[in-house]
Amino acid sequence: MSNNVAKRWDVFCRIVDNFGDIGVCWRLSQQLAQEHHLQVRLFIDDLTVASHIIPALNCELTSQVIHHVEILTWQSADTTHPADVALETFSCELPANYLAEMQGISTWINLEYLSAESWVAEFHARSSNNTKPARHFFFPGFTEATGGLIREANIFQNNQLIASQQPLGNETLKVSLFCYPHAPIADLLNAMAESNQPIDCHVPTSRIFPKIAEFFHLDIIETGSILRKKNLTVHALPFLSQADYDQLLASCDINFVRGEDSWIRAIWAAKPFIWQPYLQTENTHVTKLNAFLDLFYADCEGYAKDAVYKMHLAWVSGNLTADIWQNYLDALNTTKSFTFTKASQLATQNDLASKLVIFLQKVRVKV
């Protein structure tokens, strides 16, 4: 069968942990529907968790349309009409009955996790013919030879606009904090309190609230609380919508981010950021971190580069000193202009959704 037109896309999302899986799937599904005018169905295995990322979601419904995407439960995977493209995300394993109906109809793509490691370019766009239909592997990445990064058409410009609206001449540093609870959070809060300039730290609700409560000798922290110690003021925020979270990142001077999706959002915010990779066995997350630092900061000036590396390695190793933080702040002006330049360069590359669509046109000559 020869057919280049792949209009109907099914995206499969299994929520393994936290919000990254659904965060990526929801963002990508909306982009495919709204920017590429495709008919997108998003199958989700856990609507309750997903409703944190898709606030309009009604968990009682097995099918609903939100922002031009049809959202269905995993159980309702329509096996009689598989789509032109079945996008399996993060090797989540397509439902067996759906898979059985795909032959001759669907192109099967597995979207992999993001990594800056050099092997990604080599493995991107490879296919395995051991399955029926063939399975194609799509690797996001930071270079042209990879599947690219998720980036909505206007996000970079929108973020610049938000950044330009921030008050000038304010000596208070605005920081956002989103990280895993095993990070040295008390060390960071202490270092911020001891910094030589005032810091406003904005913390959206997450599993780190108990750590912050402990630092301030409180039992719990409520959303809306404002907590102070020396030069540090912590603002406890609700868990934000993805759009509001983007706005927060764009308005801050430094962003602490984690996992996969918030990491990329920090890049499009184009402000200095500290990334905490998802913890993996055998220190794989440190390998991933170093690969990213080497790629992103390759051309950064020596002392700023050194400060960025030391800050990241202290943050992932669980042992952060006030000196490392102050050193990072001292290099902030250089890191700021460097981050902006680098993010601007990355924003000129083709984005992941566009690359997926182009890739589909190439592989879908024969199904």
- Which positions touch ligand TRH (CB under 6 A)? 16-21, 23, 53, 178, 204, 206, 239-240, 242, 245, 258-262, 278
> Closest separation between CB of residue 188 and ligand TRH, Å?
16
- CA angle at 207 for the pair 201 and 209, rounded to the nearest 5°: 45
> Closest separation between CB of residue 218 and ligand TRH, Å?
21
* 176 within 8 A of 248, measured Cβ to Cβ: yes
**Prior bond of 133 cis (ω within 30°):** yes
Nearer to ligand TRH, 19 or 325 (CB): 19
Q: Is 169 exposed, middle or buried (0-12, 13-18, 19+ CB in 10 A)?
A: exposed
Residue ranges of alpha helices (H) inside 177-274 are 185-193, 209-215, 242-251, 261-269
Nearer to ligand TRH, 83 or 177 (CB): 177
* 263 within 8 A of 23, measured Cβ to Cβ: no
Catalytic residue among 187, 253, 260, 261: 260
Nearer to ligand TRH, 6 or 175 (CB): 175
Catalytic residue among 21, 45, 112, 351: 21
> Closest separation between CB of residue 243 and ligand TRH, Å?
8
Distance in angstroms (rounded) separating the CA atoms of residues 324 and 307? 7
Q: Is 214 a catalytic residue?
A: no
Nearer to ligand TRH, 7 or 67 (CB): 67
Q: Which two tokens stand for residue 154?
A: 């206007």
Q: Is 21 a catalytic residue?
A: yes
> Closest separation between CB of residue 118 and ligand TRH, Å?
19
* 177 within 8 A of 206, measured Cβ to Cβ: no
Enumerate the active-site residues. 21, 260
